[in-house]
Amino acid sequence: MRIIDRYLLRQFVHVFLICFISLDGLYVVFDAFSNLDEFLYYAEKDGGGLLSMMGEFYAYRTVAFFEQISSMLTMIAGMFTVTWIQRHNELTALMAAGVSRTRIIVPIVVAAACTSLGASAAREFVIPQLADELGRDAKNLRGEAGLELKPRLDFETNVLLHGKVAYANEQRINEPSFMFPRSLYGQGRQLAAENAYYFARQADRPAGYLLRGVIRPQNLAEQPSLEQNGSPLLITPRDADWLKPDECFLVSNVNFDQLTGGEGMKKFSSTRQLIAALSDPSLGLAGDYGADVRVKIHARIIQPLMDMTLLFLGLPLVLNGTNRNVFVAIGLCGAVCTAFMLVAMGFQYLGAAAMLRPALAAWAPLVIFVPIAVGMFDRIEY
């Protein structure tokens, strides 16, 4: 690696870190002061230190924040690095020595590619592990607050899952009210209880919800278990000695996070988990129901290409011009990022609304902007 390569890499990393720390610091300070009362409450309740609690809370969010803004910061760092060496006549000296503009930006492109791959790794391997922590806000740090539970249909069994409120720390639904399809009971039947707890699949039993304090039907202990298409649907105390007289077990592949998570579940899941959700009949994501998930999968696959396209849109603006004003570079960064992201978000919205095919909605920004970036680079004076 040449001295100039190390110099440019150091400058790129320096600008990237300054921008990231500044933006992340602004976010942390603003959010922390907005939720200071909640942090003080939980610190006093748990008997722990306020700073350690806030540090842990925002450490998780810093990872997600990096993944969200890394593409923008990559372009900013690249444009600032080029503008900086132009401002100090270093670019002129390098070109006088016979080094072309395209050769000069090679370390910047390599650094941007590594940053994009790092953000992708965080999105696929780190953030899914932190989904529970990232899904909670400062007002519900321990998952003790009740979450509003909207009715959710298990598309595999056609059982409507509903309840009063849900508690994430116990994976409990208060006052569950599950409705079976009419085809199963003729007139339809409601299954109500005091509480329902989600249990993952185990060696001797399927995944589902254990209902305790069953209210309806009243003679549950005398009822036989129900099957649907040859598979167990509702296990009653009559056929399971591990159930108490006022308990029953509803088999369902809709887990607690999917039942309560909504958009947060999709946001913090890995691409592999999203693909698995598409093939899960319980979630009913086939066809137009899963259009937003399909768009998200395609968008994640091409995200490194999107990041590099954004960089190649920004670099020619400072490589072609003679303006060495840093503030002009800031304005150009903002304009390019805004236009690029608005177009990408617009196509993704159309794809999620099933107005465009998911693949087309995700790839359309590349189809539009890659030729523009190539044309801009062709006009660079070597």
The 10s digit of each residue's pLDDT in 83-114 is 888 888 888 888 888 888 888 899 999 999 99
Does one domain contain both 112 and 237? no
**62 part of a folded domain:** yes
What pLDDT is attached to residue 263? 62
Residue at 192 is within a domain: yes
Same domain as 128, residue 26: yes
**Residue 118 shares a structural domain with residue 202:** no
Q: Evaluate whether residue 271 is within a structural domain.
A: no
Residue 148 belongs to a domain: no
Pair (96, 192) in one structural domain: no
Distance between CA atoms of 300 and 120, rounded to whole angstroms? 8
Same domain, 135 and 161: no
Residues 188 and 111 in one domain: no
Q: Of 191, 226, 252, at which residue does a domain stop?
A: 252
Indicate whether 277 belongs to any domain.
no
Residue 298 within a domain: yes
183 shares a domain with 126: no
Helices 50-87 and 326-352, axial angle in degrees (round to 10): 120
Given 230, 252, 274, which residue is the final one in a domain? Answer: 252
Taking the C-alpha atoms of residue 24 and residue 62, their distance in angstroms, rounded to an integer, is 7
What are the pLDDT digits (tens) for 210-255? 999 999 888 888 888 888 888 899 999 998 889 999 999 999 988 8
In this prediction, residues 309-319 reach a mean pLDDT of 87
Q: Are residues 299 and 244 in the same domain?
A: no
Q: Say if residue 129 is in the same domain as residue 40.
A: yes
Mean pLDDT, the chain, whole residue set? 86
Residues whose CB falls within 8 Å of the CB of residue 64, separated by 6 or more in sequence, listed in order = 127, 130, 134, 268
Residue 40 lies in a domain: yes
> Over the stretch 324-340, which tens digit does the pLDDT of each residue have?
666 777 777 778 888 99
Same domain, 182 and 304: no
Distances 228 to 118, 202, 241 between C-alpha atoms, Å: 46, 20, 21
45-89 pLDDT, tens digit per residue, is 877 788 888 999 999 999 999 999 999 899 889 988 988 888 888
Q: What is the pLDDT of residue 321?
A: 58
Tokens of 300: 């994640």
Looking up tokens 């050769």 gives 103
Domains held by the chain: number: 2
Out of 236, 252, 268, a domain closes at 252
Band (382; pLDDT cuts 50, 70, 90) = low
pLDDT (tens digit, 9 = 90+) per residue, 155-182? 888 899 999 999 888 899 999 999 988 7
Whether 162 and 105 share a structural domain: no
CA pair distance 207, 198, nearest whole angstrom: 8
Residue pLDDT, tens place only, 172-216: 999 999 998 876 664 447 899 999 999 998 888 899 999 999 998
Sequence-ordered list of residues with C-beta below 8 angstroms from that of 244, at least 6 positions apart, any chain: 212, 237
* pLDDT reading at 137 higher than 70: yes
Same domain for 53 and 122, yes or no, is yes
Range of the domain at 319: 3-139+293-378
pLDDT in tens, 361-375: 999 999 999 999 888
Report yes or no on 265 lying in a domain: no
